[in-house]
Chain A
Amino acid sequence: MADILVLVEHRRGEIRDITFEMLMKGKTLSEKTGKPLTALLLGNDVGEMAEGLKDLANRVVLIEDPKLENFNSEIYQRVLGNVIEQEKPFLLFIGHTAFGMDLAPTLATQMKAPLATDCTDVMVDDDQIRAIRQTYGGKLNVEVRLKPAPCSMVTVRPASVSVEDYSLAGEITRVTSPLTEEIASKRFLEYVEAAAGEVDITQANILVSVGRGIKDPENIPMVQELAKSLGATLSCSRPVVDKKWLPKDRQVGTSGKTVKPTVYIAIGISGAFQHIAGMKGSGTIIAINRDPKAPIFNVAHYGIVGDLLKIVPALKGKISEAFA
């Protein structure tokens, strides 16, 4: 009781990375506060998954039901409301993902639980929970205090915790599903896969990536020229796709592709976490941005501060000479 609870996120038989990140964070807090760490697994026929999680928590609470085959926030909320009443957790972690964004706010409201979303860190001192979250597209850190409550909730930003090996040798507790009747007000129908595009940016050795800072689609050929002079592939941030300036298969980030090229050149991209999560594994990152405080410079190895409309053509000239 009064555990730190981590809601396991999985999809199509695979545990998602955010789960391990939350367990890692939960373990650190568990050591500090002496509160046990519990992984909460809802699904259909996921016993094997529970076995795999045993080592990472003091306890795995397992609830299986055919109605839990696919994620559905309403069905999850029904089950979790029950679990929270019984377990009375101190703190519940959910991922700040498409899954958590659909579930955490309504669950918190139902349970009257304080909720801090999209947190990059969580601290507990004398049962006082504080969280760090970012605002203004990652340009500001905000420290938030959660008012005291029987249960509090936090959604965790993906890739904000680095995971290390540990072993807690926990046990599995099976809890009977509280679901009785069919819930028909919200129905999961099917998954739709991303359409295969004409280029695979994940295979590129060098990516020249363009963001909203390009301002006008007429400026894109200029970046394309730069890419060509390097034998690089052109990629982009989300707004460039939203505006239909480049096709979806070029998008880097959480809702696009995760890339790890040898060199990634980010041009006019601010560095929102959804973008960074898709490219921070690149070998060498060079960022061009006129805002010296753009978050992209926190992950880049090299930065050029200035107007991309001047820098890109100059760079292209030199590169064409050097690599002709």
Chain B
Amino acid sequence: MEIIVCIKRVPETADADIVIDRTGRDIEKGGLVFDINEWDNYAVEEAILLKEKYGGSVTVISMGPEEVNETLRRALAMGADQAIRLTDPAFEGSDGYTIARVLSQAIKPLSYDLILTGVQTEDDGYGQVGPTLAEILGIRHAAVVNQIEGIESGRTRVHRELEGGLEEILDLELPAVLTIQTGINEPRYVSIMGIRKVAKKEIKVLGLRELAMKPEEAGEPGSLTVVEMVSFPPVGEGAQILEGTMDEISDKVVTILKEKGGVA
């Protein structure tokens, strides 16, 4: 079982105060804490579980600057065998299609049975890169996979999560790309000791030239969609914010519940 996992290092923004940068097309990344994309963490774990069951090896690939090594090392500490980082100034501004294009150039020379990605990223949330990658490579795919039943005679049985708790079972020919949904497994804990152990492991770095791509095929020139500007979503009517001391706020909530809540 040769498995490739595509992962991304993303800023954690759920809790952070985000600020639009000077270009007006992105946010300030400065003070933000970065970590592996939540969905990708489940994908790495799933790859390692499959390796433990069927043997073989796991290769993790990520696009981005040197700091991405940290995310790749985290995956190595979880049990991945090789890591590849794709980096080039020309990749800046790539849309979902072009990201898949760059990944495909790195993957083509490798041998693989399965490619796992997260369903989507926490930042851009395209939910597009995995299936696009499959189409470029000319292989099968399934999106939003929440269970891999098993692999047998060049095929795999997977569950795809639909709406409202419903699932469908598919039978797919390998090689295939599966986009992995959160909750599919319980990602293992990565200790500082574990990361130290892989600190010296080589991370292969590939740029535009090694990937046999032309500058006009990457970044904004190679993309089919272009970000024009970003803004904060309109708040609509918005919530009435309850203010005061903790006691006063609690009293207000009690009043609201008495009026609206049907609480006796």
Given contacts A143-B231, A242-B182, 14 further A-B contacts (CB under 8 A): A11-B162, A73-B143, A105-B130, A106-B132, A137-B122, A140-B231, A140-B233, A189-B157, A256-B165, A258-B164, A290-B15, A304-B253, A318-B247, A323-B264
Whether B153 is near chain A, meaning CB under 8 Å from some CB there, is: no
Out of B14, B226, B246, which one reaches A144, CB within 8 Å? B226
- Enumerate the 7 nearest inter-chain pairs by beta-carbon distance, A residue then B residue, closest first: A194-B165, A303-B239, A242-B183, A114-B224, A318-B250, A105-B131, A300-B239
Contact assessment for A291 and B17 in the assembled complex, using a CB-CB cutoff below 8 Å:
yes
A286 is an interface residue with CB less than 8 A from chain B: yes
Q: Are B238 and A297 in contact (CB under 8 A)?
A: yes
Contact, CB under 8 Å: A185 / B250: no
Q: B118: CB under 8 A from chain A?
A: no
Q: Is the CB of B123 within 8 A of A191?
A: no
How far apart sit A43 and B129, CA to CA, in the bound complex (Å)? 27
**12 A–B contact pairs at CB < 8 A?**
A70-B168, A73-B131, A102-B160, A115-B224, A144-B226, A144-B227, A146-B224, A283-B260, A284-B256, A285-B239, A300-B239, A304-B249
Q: Which residues of A contact B113 (CB under 8 A)?
A: none
Residues 1-56 of B contacting A (Cβ, < 8 Å): 11, 13-18, 20, 27, 38
Q: Which residue of B lies closest to A195 (CB)?
A: B165
Looking at the complex, which one of A106, A138, A185, A230 makes contact with B257 (CB distance below 8 Å)?
A230
CA distance A299 to B234 in the complex (A): 11
* Cβ contact within 8 Å between A189 and B233: no
Asked whether, in the complex, the Cβ of B256 is within 8 Å of the Cβ of A318, the reply is no
Chain B interface (Cβ within 8 Å of chain A)? 11, 13-18, 20, 27, 38, 96-97, 100, 119, 122-132, 134-136, 140-144, 157, 159-173, 179, 182-183, 186, 223-233, 235-236, 238-242, 246-247, 249-254, 256-258, 260-264
Q: Contact at B157–A118, with CB atoms within 8 Å? A: no
Q: A118, A139, A143, A189: which contacts B171 (Cβ < 8 A)?
A: A189
The interface residues of chain B, by DSSP majority, are classed as mixed
The answer to the question of A145 belonging to the interface, with a C-beta cut-off of 8 Å to chain B, is yes
B260 touching A263, Cβ below 8 Å = yes
Interface members, chain A 185-211 (any B CB < 8 Å) = 185-194, 205-206
Query: Could you tell me which A residues sit within 8 Å of B by CB distance?
Result: 11, 70-71, 73-74, 96-99, 101-102, 104-106, 108-110, 112-118, 130, 133-147, 149, 184-194, 205-206, 212-213, 230-231, 238-239, 241-244, 248, 254-258, 262-263, 270, 283-287, 290-295, 297-305, 310-311, 314-315, 317-319, 322-323
Q: A139-B18, A192-B168 are in contact. Are A109 and B127 (CB under 8 A)?
A: no
